[in-house]
Amino acid sequence: MTMLILAILPAKDSDANTIFTDVGTSHRAQAEIYYLVQGKIASGVSTSQFAPDRLVTRAEAAIFLGRALGINGEKKSTQFPDVSSSHTASGYIQGMVDKGIIQGYGDGKYYPNSTLTRGQMAILISRSFNYGADSSSTASTALINRGISDGIADGTFGAQLTLKRADFAVFITRGINNKFRTYQNIPFTQKFYVNTNDLNFRTGPNTSFDSITKLNKGQLVEYAYSIGEWSYVRANGQAGFLHSYYLQLDKPNVTTPLPVPPVTTPGEKLSDLVVIIDPGHGGTDPGGVGNGFQEKNVVLNVARHMNNYFSNVPIQAKMTRTGDTYPTLPERMEFAEKNKGDVYVSLHTNALNGAANGTETFYYAKTASTNPYVKESRALSIYLQNRMIETWKLTNRGVNPFGYGNLHVLRENTMPAALIEMGFLDSPIDIKYIREEAERKKMGRALFLGVLDYYYHYEGRTDMKPLYSTVNGSPSSKLH
């Protein structure tokens, strides 16, 4: 592993109140460890010891990456029987599960005290920072290609080797900040403008990091990537982090009053909104099949992409399943209600002996006696359908309020709900899109935008507009 020159992060840039006796100025990971400590992402095992050579546990991995992404680490119940609500890492573990980053083992446990391998680390970093890799081989390649890892001395990545806390600090720091990588090859390809004055331009993705300088309204910045709700950008020849809320695509008029975030009452903040993402079928129920694909796998893949896009904005997204399991229909409803969902999107594909093709969306509208959100469900369906057709350009089978709209997850829901059918697995036309990972990622983006469109147009949430910039998008036309 190539070591970075410590001058990249001078000692004065670290937390002046934290000095670890086991991490001296000659330590190979000194700069990275203190960078994470300054940002309150990593912490020592005591006030004077970091324990750089101790092996990383799966609980520590969740804590460090969760903090990097800005996940609320408040202790809570988890889906794992071996991670109680009193466990130090419980909030981060469940938060990472909700974002589709963490999965347990086949027996349903998480094993928080087990050590982390380099291969597992690569997958977690890939999912956390949206590298699009979901196996140790593809994830390790993604890290090598980005200058985050050089592999080990024998020329391999060493996926099965355990990982020390110092090395984990190096990998996380390089994932967060391009300046620490073995080579800086990240392009700054998108242009945005700052929409407020006296905005701190920071060395890392939270307010604990030092401010490099202040930027003002109308300042042009070049965007490279996102870490949680923060954007890594370049301004005036320097690279650093800005909160994504304060960036917009169009240059603001600097002579007009500064934008003021919308006045909200409790429960109306962006971070209080919860989108329930429901990948249909799963486990012993494969759903439709065709051309070698099973519905349960396709919809889970798209759901993860959709979830990843939400991970870059304040809105919460929670998945009814994150692996190959089968929550019953009542359990899906209980999950949505327990997590105080605001909208519900159920993901599916079709199959009909190769006799049909196209995209359609359903909502329940036969009576308001069960799910009263008929108008809201219709509007949500319209905007989702519009984005899907815009993305895959398949036959538009429309938004359907009847027939199959009488489905449990629509009828028994307690929030605006839509069920989307992306296409037909057994169609020679539709499978051209469904089989491609890049196209499934596009569909995840389309569903993300469809939800934003619903809030922006139907709910009148103008505070949605800055969120479009996270995917270089803009609001659709008003359609409902």
Q: Please indicate, yes or no, whether residues 108 and 214 belong to a single structural domain of this protein.
A: no
Q: For the domain that residue 396 is a member of, what is the CATH number? A: 3.40.630.40
Q: Please indicate, yes or no, whether residues 215 and 346 belong to a single structural domain of this protein.
A: no
Predicted confidence at residue 429, as pLDDT, reads 94
Q: Please indicate, yes or no, whether residues 440 and 296 belong to a single structural domain of this protein.
A: yes
pLDDT: which is higher, 327 or 155 = 327
The one-letter amino acid code at 176 reads: I
Percent of the chain with pLDDT over 70: 91
Let me know: does 176 contact 227? Beta carbons within 8 Å.
yes
Where is the domain boundary, 133, 157, 180? 180
Where is the domain boundary, 146, 180, 214? 180
The one-letter amino acid code at 185 reads: N
Residue 269 CA to residue 46 CA, distance in Å, equals 36
What mean pLDDT is predicted for residues 34-59? 94
Residue 46 CA to residue 54 CA, distance in Å, equals 13
Predicted confidence at residue 220, as pLDDT, reads 94
Question: Please, what is the Cα angle at 350 between 342 and 330, to 5 degrees?
Answer: 40
Residue written as token pair 């967060």: 176
Predicted confidence at residue 176, as pLDDT, reads 96
The one-letter amino acid code at 261 reads: P
Residue 75 CA to residue 88 CA, distance in Å, equals 7
pTM above 0.75, yes or no: no
Let me know: does 444 contact 306? Beta carbons within 8 Å.
yes
Q: Please indicate, yes or no, whether residues 33 and 111 belong to a single structural domain of this protein.
A: yes
For residue 447, give the H/E element and its range: helix 437-453
What mean pLDDT is predicted for residues 26-46? 94
Predicted confidence at residue 268, as pLDDT, reads 59
Residue written as token pair 């992306």: 422
Number of CB atoms found within 10 A of residue 399's CB: 23
Q: Return the sign of the alpha-carbon dihedral for residues 427, 429, 430, 432.
A: positive
User: What pLDDT digit, counting tens, does each position of 419-450 carry?
Assistant: 999 999 999 999 999 999 999 999 999 999 99
Q: Please indicate, yes or no, whether residues 237 and 361 belong to a single structural domain of this protein.
A: no
With a cut of 80, say whether residue 117 has pLDDT above it. Answer: yes
Q: Does 228 reside within a domain?
A: yes
What mean pLDDT is predicted for residues 362-390? 84
User: What pLDDT digit, counting tens, does each position of 226-268 carry?
Assistant: 898 899 999 999 999 998 878 877 788 776 444 444 333 344 5
The total of structural domains in the chain comes to 3
What mean pLDDT is predicted for residues 69-97? 92
Predicted confidence at residue 352, as pLDDT, reads 86
Closest CA relative to residue 100, chosen from 267, 375, 317? 317
On the 0-12 / 13-18 / 19+ scale of CB atoms within 10 A, 400 is middle
Q: What is the DSSP annotation of 96-151?
A: HHHTT-----TTS---TTSBPBHHHHHHHHHHHTT----SHHHHHHHHHHTTS---
Q: Please indicate, yes or no, whether residues 129 and 195 belong to a single structural domain of this protein.
A: no
With a cut of 80, say whether residue 467 has pLDDT above it. Answer: yes
DSSP 8-state secondary structure symbol assigned to residue 252: P
With a cut of 90, say whether residue 189 has pLDDT above it. Answer: no
With a cut of 70, say whether residue 192 has pLDDT above it. Answer: yes
Residue 308 CA to residue 303 CA, distance in Å, equals 9
Residue 179 CA to residue 224 CA, distance in Å, equals 12
Q: For the domain that residue 212 is a member of, what is the CATH number? A: 2.30.30.40
Q: Return the sign of the alpha-carbon dihedral for residues 203, 208, 212, 215.
A: positive
Structure tokens at 474: 């803009």
Q: Please indicate, yes or no, whether residues 219 and 287 belong to a single structural domain of this protein.
A: no
Let me know: does 26 contact 6? Beta carbons within 8 Å.
no
Q: Please indicate, yes or no, whether residues 16 and 62 belong to a single structural domain of this protein.
A: yes
Q: Please indicate, yes or no, whether residues 207 and 120 belong to a single structural domain of this protein.
A: no
Q: Does 398 reside within a domain?
A: yes
- Phi and psi of 247, rounded to 5°? -120, 145
Q: Does 254 reside within a domain?
A: no
Residue 3 CA to residue 180 CA, distance in Å, equals 9
Q: Does 243 reside within a domain?
A: yes
pLDDT: which is higher, 276 or 5 = 276
- Please name the residue ranges forming H helices in 262-356: 295-310, 329-338
Predicted confidence at residue 366, as pLDDT, reads 59
Predicted confidence at residue 255, as pLDDT, reads 61
Where is the domain boundary, 155, 180, 205? 180
Let me know: does 36 contact 64? Beta carbons within 8 Å.
yes
Mean pLDDT of the chain: 88
What mean pLDDT is predicted for residues 204-231? 92
Q: Please indicate, yes or no, whether residues 219 and 298 belong to a single structural domain of this protein.
A: no
User: What pLDDT digit, counting tens, does each position of 287-303 carry?
Assistant: 999 999 999 999 999 99
With a cut of 50, say whether residue 403 has pLDDT above it. Answer: no
Q: Please indicate, yes or no, whether residues 222 and 346 belong to a single structural domain of this protein.
A: no
Q: Return the sign of the alpha-carbon dihedral for residues 136, 139, 144, 148.
A: negative
Q: Does 210 reside within a domain?
A: yes
Q: Does 261 reside within a domain?
A: no
Structure tokens at 260: 């003021």
Structure tokens at 421: 């059918």
For residue 212, give the H/E element and its range: strand 211-215
Q: Does 139 reside within a domain?
A: yes
Number of CB atoms found within 10 A of residue 409's CB: 25
Structure tokens at 425: 């697995």
CA distance readout (Å), 87 to 80, 92, 93, 108, 396: 11, 10, 10, 17, 49
Residue 252 CA to residue 188 CA, distance in Å, equals 21
Q: Whole domain around residue 207: which residue ranges?
A: 190-248
CA distance readout (Å), 118 to 58, 127, 149, 347: 12, 14, 10, 33
Residue 167 CA to residue 102 CA, distance in Å, equals 20
pLDDT: which is higher, 468 or 403 = 468
Q: Please indicate, yes or no, whether residues 155 and 80 belong to a single structural domain of this protein.
A: yes
- Phi and psi of 399, rounded to 5°? -100, 120
- Please name the residue ranges forming H helices in 15-105: 30-38, 58-68, 90-98
Q: How confident is the model at residue 1 (pLDDT cuts 50, 70, 90)?
A: very low
